[in-house]
Homo-oligomer: A and B are copies of this chain.
Amino acid sequence: MFAADELTFNSDGLIPAIVQDVDSGAVAMLAWMDAEAIRRTLDTGLATFWSRSRSEYWVKGETSGNSQSLVDMRTDCDADALLVRVRQHGPACHTGLSSCFDTATVQAVS
């Protein structure tokens, strides 16, 4: 076990949160949490992030209904990233895709 206040946040007070769908194993998205988003996620059981573009907390699925029920939250060996394992309800991506990473394959600049 690891207390949330022992995590390493970046200079904006944020930590990257990888969201993985435990049913499919797919990596659904990468979003950002601050200490309060972590607290809310652990307290409510619903994945909650800090929106860097809107500067506000964002409960995933609050408007779309495509929420993410927390299974567990893990950190890595240097405690500067999170793996948030969830049950995904509906598509994870606002584009309607099941993963935000279904978008495109990256290729070298020609």
Contact = CB atoms under 8 A, between A and B. Distances in A.
Interface of A: 1-5, 7, 16, 18, 20, 25, 27, 29-30, 38-39, 42-43, 72-79, 81-83, 93-95, 97, 100-110
State the main secondary structure of chain A at its contact with B: mixed
Number of identical monomers bound together in the oligomeric complex: 2
Contacts of A7: 106
Contacts of A42: 106-108
Contact of A105 (B72, B78, B79, B103): B72
B29 A76 contact: yes
Contacts of A100: 76-78, 81
B101 A76 contact: yes
A30 B104 contact: no
9 contacts: A1-B106, A2-B104, A3-B109, A38-B106, A38-B108, A74-B101, A77-B93, A77-B97, A79-B103
Contacts of A93: 76-77
Contact of A106 (B73, B94, B108): B73
Contacts of A39: 108-109
